[in-house]
Amino acid sequence: MSFAICRIQKIKSWGQLTAHSEHATRTRETPNANPEVENIQIVGNLDNLDLGTLVKNKIGSQKIRSNAVLTVEMLLSASAEYFRPHAPHEGGVYDKRRLDNFIDAVIRWLDSSWGDRVVQAVLHLDEITPHVHAYLVPLDEQGKLRCKALFGTLHQMYQLQNSFADAVAHLGIERGIKGSLATHTQVRKYYAAVNQDSQILNLEHCLPQPTAQETSESYRQKVIEILSPQLEIINYQLNERSRILQQKAVLKQTASKSEQLRKQLEKELRLLQATSGQPDLPLPLVAYELGANHYKQDDNALSLVMRVNGYNFDDAVVWLHDRFGEQGMLHAVANHALTIAQQTPSQLFVAPTSSANHWHEVERYLTQQRALPQQLLQTLHQRSLVYALVTGGAVFLARNLLNEPTGAYLHALGSNTFNLYPSSKRSCGWFHLSIGGKFDEPIKGAMLVSEPIEALSLAVLNAPHQHKTLYLVIDSQYSHLPKEFLENLPNVVVATNRETAIAVCKVLPNATRLEPKITWNQQLQQQGGKNHAILESQTNVSDISYYQ
């Protein structure tokens, strides 16, 4: 679907008019234009007068108010799908027949709507999408320079859009939504939207040369008028970039949640497939074998046997096998298990309670005996990623890549082993943190290690970090990996034990192995905190971008 584009901009000073004229006629360098393509003047004069002279001649000798609109610039175009229906994203390409039909419609509309008020119109073909710049002097019915008479009300602006849309409707070009709350961008902002190449400000070519008698204020105003259009484009592009980055982050988060939902649905589908085609034993038949005259509608075969005969699970399974054979017994057990799974809500992980009284003991152990930097530990503690257990010992919180808690590692002080907190969902998350880089910088690399203390130790040993690096605990060869995320990173290093490293590298062919002769924490202890100052110089406790 192709839409009509009609934008206007009011020009109130001769300096601004000169700048627009130089842009339209390409007498000034235009960074996003192809110099090898020639533009076409479709409305003009035989004497080749410049735009300023044409406007002055049209206004005549009448007195011009200080705030008067000298001319109105119209930008007339259509969405790219009209000019290149088979390649809408291929800039600089257009179908000549379609372009000719469009220009013919534009010229007819300009003539019928505005007559000789239009003093110049130029077709630009040297940018991404063909468009026309038309300049009209806003004279009212009495020939007075009065822009409000033509474009002063919202109704007149609606009429303008309707009129142009009607003029090109026969080409299959439609009007935008009437009364839409979407704001119409100004002409120069439109450039930033349709021309995807970055705007480059070439000061050497843009800045005018001051004249001998020119005052500093006059020169200042001239520079402002000349640079304002390009600076607005640059600012618009920067704002668009920020908006797109934010949108990308939201979409990434949505995609991650969608992937989690997909995996959950796949799991449920596999469970349904395992039991589909295996209907439960008919309750009337089971009741008959039991000698029961009545049964509940929400019973299944196994629960009915357990209730009527007062059996435990094992005895009920044996009874079903004896009466209905192996297949009947398996069907009954599978459907019983499915009923329990469907009726029992999934349990959310609840992290172990933190103890402020024991934290100093944990912190002292990790700094003095494990040689970890105090600032690193304080930062992680502030974010509840490392803290003390009520019963003593350290807690290292595991999270998924959306930073939602999924489990916890428990470490008894003085030991070299970790235990898993009972309600942890081990395959849903990992202990991880990212270090280095700026807040909005993407992760450039990952280091996979076997334990939380090893992850922290290796992060310290690797300081300083030139790019944001993820340190993630993979504690077993059976560990679930965030494969989709890791395989897209340019640098993944597996620094775990040999068995785990081999298993990981089979799943991630892009990963490289790093095998230390002693543990990373032993290496850190041997250095005696040598890298602490380097790591802490990169970090700011108040800035979450460093430790996440």
**Over the stretch 141-174, which tens digit does the pLDDT of each residue have?**
899 999 999 988 888 888 998 999 999 999 999 8
Tens of pLDDT along 60-104? 999 888 889 999 999 999 888 888 888 766 767 888 999 999 999
pTM over 0.85: no
C-alpha to C-alpha distance for 355 and 357, rounded to whole angstroms:
5
C-alpha to C-alpha distance for 87 and 514, rounded to whole angstroms:
48
Q: Do 319 and 268 touch, CB atoms closer than 8 A?
A: no
For position 185, what pLDDT does the model report? 44
Direct distance between the N- and C-terminal alpha carbons of the chain, in angstroms, rounded to an integer: 45
Report residue 544 CA to chain centroid gap.
19
- Show the tokens assigned to 107: 């010229």
For position 201, what pLDDT does the model report? 61
Q: Do 305 and 329 touch, CB atoms closer than 8 A?
A: no
Q: What share of the chain is helix, strand, coil (3-state, %, to 5)?
A: 45, 15, 40
Bridge partners for 133 per DSSP: 75, 122
Q: Do 531 and 365 touch, CB atoms closer than 8 A?
A: no
How do 469-473 and 173-174 pair as beta strands?
unpaired
Count of H-run helices and E-run strands, the chain: 19, 15
Report residue 219 CA to chain centroid gap.
43
Report residue 101 CA to chain centroid gap.
39
For position 177, what pLDDT does the model report? 52
3-class DSSP state of 393: coil
For position 176, what pLDDT does the model report? 65
Low-confidence ranges of the chain (pLDDT < 70): 1, 31-32, 46, 88-89, 91, 176-206, 229-230, 232-233, 235-237, 240, 268, 270-280, 297, 344-346, 439, 529-548
- Show the tokens assigned to 535: 């790591």
For position 538, what pLDDT does the model report? 46
Bridge partners for 76 per DSSP: 6, 132
